[in-house]
Amino acid sequence: MLKPVNGTPGDVTDYSCTRIEYDLAAGREVSVEDHRVQDDMDFLGGIGRSFKILSGYDVSDPFAPDAPLVINTGCFTGTQFMTGLRAYFSGYSPLKRTRAGMPMPVWSAMSGSFGRKFSYTGIGDLILTGRAAVPSFLVIRQTDDGPDISVVEAPSHLVGARVREKMFYLDERYNDGDKNYHAHFAVLGPAGENWETVWYAAVVGSTQEQLMSGEDKWRFAGRLGMGSVLGSKNILGIVARAETDYYRKGDDRLKAINNEIGRGEQSRGYRHPNNRNGLGGTGKNSKILDGFGVLPYRNFEPPGENVAVPVHLETMRESDDFIVIDKSCYGCQITCHQDFYDVPEGGKDPDWRKARRNHGEYLGRFEFEPMELSGANLGILDPHDNLELARLDDDLGFDTISANVVISFLMDYNARGNGTVADGVTFGDAEGVRRLKEDIAYGRERLFGKGVRAIAEEIGGEAFAMHAKGVEFSAYLGQTNPGYPFAVAGGHMSMRTFLLYVMDPDCKPDSADYWVRNITEEGWKMVNKDLHGGCLFTMAPPDQVSEGIEAVFGVPFSAERVLDATYRAHILGFALEQKQGITPDEYDLPSDIFVGQSKGDLPGVRFLTRELFEEVRTRVLERLHRDVETLGYGDHAAPASVQAV
């Protein structure tokens, strides 16, 4: 949380935040600093500050007790800016490693209400080191004297418990049944507790609706194994309790900004069709991509168009088997969540308004990546199975993207006659997937929780292991996206090149100039939301962000400064990859997706040759290395004098 240093702030440097380093082994604060904002990266927050902090550590093992895990928020988190809810978990990833085994720095973002409560406790940045002696919860309380932090031993019945059981216990313990919900939570499932064999565990965050309804409507810091890192510190969950909400409301300009965000054209794509002519939320992508023949199917190999119609959002919405209700996060008007319920006895009312009020049991939430990767990409086209498998990922505490890309790889491996792994799991085998996910989460599978690259290195199949730098692809074909290797974090969250092939009317897919320009000049701009704490789905342009800052904090800002701070964070992340010793040829894609290979000549896409990609890679890396020096990050890019373990 940002605090004015004195009087009326006239500049971002007139703010500070509380930075705490906490040793979990000792159960005490190592340092407490009133950190004065130095620049726009500091002020915006999130990864702008996290990457600076991480640059001060030499890390060869992401699970070592002295490896840091940074938790913080953005400047908009906990304010009235729509929707300022995000918290960031940043550290060195067990998945994203160099070929020599050195972990690289990443972040994962979580929406929900944990971030705002964390901010209200008074903490700006929390740096966790050490390892608790026993499985524990980290409890952070707001007090008149500042944040109070303690390590509390977890009850034995919660060790190994699923997310739902941990959330229920913490709500009962720290919210006292008062319905004010002063406390919110970030917890692990069994996947995170078994961090030695599961490297893609998520941190699962509570939401206001989840606590009020009792339904498992959580949000996630899912990607890149930050849940595994938290698990390695023997922390099963974090409690952030604040009885007073320091809710910055902003001046009159903020109302107009929020109206445009919630009701305007910029968020239309993420709204339900019944909400001001919305286009359907992220779930609409299934039908769009399937119509172009580029929807991931059976390990990213679609045989044509419209192969997954039964599990399109539109098909399921019109089905008599489900009632769909659009929901929103706390304080947001966009209503981008598509919640699925069973129909009541007597069937579905044809009037959607009445159906909303008379539904059966909650079945799950339709969001594109979880549904697509646990459905069509596994060859599973039964909508009930699809909803159940996506929901299972959440309760086990997986990053649903990595978990399902691993399973699609194992299915592909078995289908190619390479041998039999994972009990011979095959495309379309929903029951086999359920068993395999539980075996991985509970540590019974010793290899398959370590990510698709580690698996392929041990059993073979590197050519069709869908990842870049060890990070599993999101639900977009690598065949359409040469930008994947240049994302600093998740491929669809930190490099916006994944939809250009389908959505850009001016796309020139066989042009190196086109891809170099979009990777180096446009794709990284989406990262701005991972500094300031606003939601991706607001689609807030930089001028709207800067006006929001002026309205909330009363200091001058500009769109140019938003973009400059964003690019600096992006380039610092790239520089820290160099520090860990990554080589140019590690910015690569699986060989099977190039033209002339088994997944490279698809009916819906056939342009990405090895020669085109290598030209793009050479030119992009030249530009990025040049900008590392220009922005003064050359010292950060010097290889660390440590060896991977």
Q: Which domain holds residue 290?
A: 255-482
Would 478 be classed as within a structural domain? yes
Which residues share a beta bridge with 88?
A: 72, 109
- Contact 631/573 with Cβ under 8 angstroms? no
Distance CA 500, CA 494 (A): 14
pLDDT at residue 645 greater than cutoff 60: no
Q: Residues 565-584: what's their mean pLDDT?
A: 98
Distance CA 297, CA 373 (A): 8
Q: What is the pLDDT of residue 184?
A: 98
pLDDT digits (tens, 9 = 90+) for 408-460: 999 999 999 988 999 999 999 999 999 999 999 999 999 999 999 999 999 99
Q: Is the pTM of this model over 0.75?
A: yes
With CA atoms as reference, report the closest residue to 394 among 614, 157, 572, 167: 167
Which residues share a beta bridge with 186?
A: 205, 238
Which range (166-170, 331-335, 492-496) has the least confidence? 331-335
- Describe the crossing of helices 163-174 and 383-396 by its angle, rounded to 10 degrees: 50
Would 227 be classed as within a structural domain? no
Q: How many helices (H) and strands (E) does the chain have?
A: 22, 18
- Contact 443/194 with Cβ under 8 angstroms? yes
pLDDT at residue 280 greater than cutoff 80: no
pLDDT digits (tens, 9 = 90+) for 124-162: 999 999 999 999 999 999 999 999 999 999 999 999 999
With CA atoms as reference, report the closest residue to 364 among 391, 383, 396, 398: 391
Would 367 be classed as within a structural domain? yes
**What separation in angstroms does the CA of 59 have from each of 92, 357, 517, 576?**
7, 53, 33, 11
Q: Residues 554-559: what's their mean pLDDT?
A: 97
Distance CA 482, CA 466 (A): 13
User: For 189, phi and psi rounded to 5 degrees?
Assistant: -95, -170
User: What is the DSSP secondary structure assignment for residue 203, as one 8-state letter?
Assistant: E
Q: What is the pLDDT of residue 6?
A: 86
Q: Residues 186-200: what's their mean pLDDT?
A: 98
pLDDT at residue 292 greater than cutoff 90: yes
Q: Domain total for the chain?
A: 1
With CA atoms as reference, report the closest residue to 97 among 581, 636, 593, 622: 581
Q: What is the 3-class SS of 512-530, one letter each residue?
A: HHHHHHHHHHHHHHHHHHH
pLDDT at residue 388 greater than cutoff 90: yes
Which range (338-352, 438-452, 631-645) has the least confidence? 631-645
Would 363 be classed as within a structural domain? yes
pLDDT at residue 11 greater than cutoff 60: yes
Would 373 be classed as within a structural domain? yes
Q: What is the pLDDT of residue 644?
A: 43
Which range (208-212, 263-267, 274-278, 462-466) has the least confidence? 274-278
Report CA Rg, the chain: 23
**What separation in angstroms does the CA of 217 have from each of 106, 344, 597?**
25, 20, 41
Structure token pair of residue 148: 């109070």
Q: What is the DSSP string of 385-429?
A: HHHHHHHHHHHHTB-HHHHHHHHHHHHHHHHTTS---GGG--TT-
Query: Tokens 């339900």 — which residue?
Result: 272
**Percent of the chain's residues with pLDDT above 70:** 99
Angle 116-119-125 from CA coordinates, rounded to 5°: 135
Q: What is the pLDDT of residue 643?
A: 42
**Residue 486, amino acid:** F
Element containing residue 216 per DSSP (H, E):
none
pLDDT digits (tens, 9 = 90+) for 590-634: 999 999 999 999 999 999 999 999 999 999 999 999 999 999 999
Label the pairing between strands 3-4 and 69-73. unpaired
- Contact 81/327 with Cβ under 8 angstroms? no
Q: What is the pLDDT of residue 144?
A: 96
Would 344 be classed as within a structural domain? yes
Distance CA 216, CA 209 (A): 9
Q: What is the pLDDT of residue 265?
A: 87
Backbone φ/ψ region at 428: left (φ over 0), alpha (ψ -120 to 50), beta: left
Distance CA 599, CA 89 (A): 34
Which residues share a beta bridge with 140?
A: 149, 240
Would 222 be classed as within a structural domain? no
Label the pairing between strands 203-205 and 467-468. unpaired
Distance CA 473, CA 352 (A): 36
Contacts for 645 with CB less than 8 Å, ≥ 6 apart: 60, 61, 64, 101
Q: What is the pLDDT of residue 640?
A: 58
pLDDT at residue 290 greater than cutoff 80: yes
Q: Residue 550: how many CA atoms within 13 Å on its side-chain side?
A: 15
* Coil, helix or strand at residue 208: helix
Q: What is the pLDDT of residue 208?
A: 94
- Contact 73/46 with Cβ under 8 angstroms? yes
Would 211 be classed as within a structural domain? no
**What separation in angstroms does the CA of 429 have from each of 268, 390, 432, 436, 525?**
36, 14, 5, 11, 40
For residue 420, what is the domain's CATH number?
1.10.569.10
Which range (190-204, 244-258, 436-450) has the least confidence? 244-258
pLDDT digits (tens, 9 = 90+) for 200-243: 999 999 999 999 999 999 999 999 999 999 999 999 999 999 99
Mean pLDDT of the chain: 95
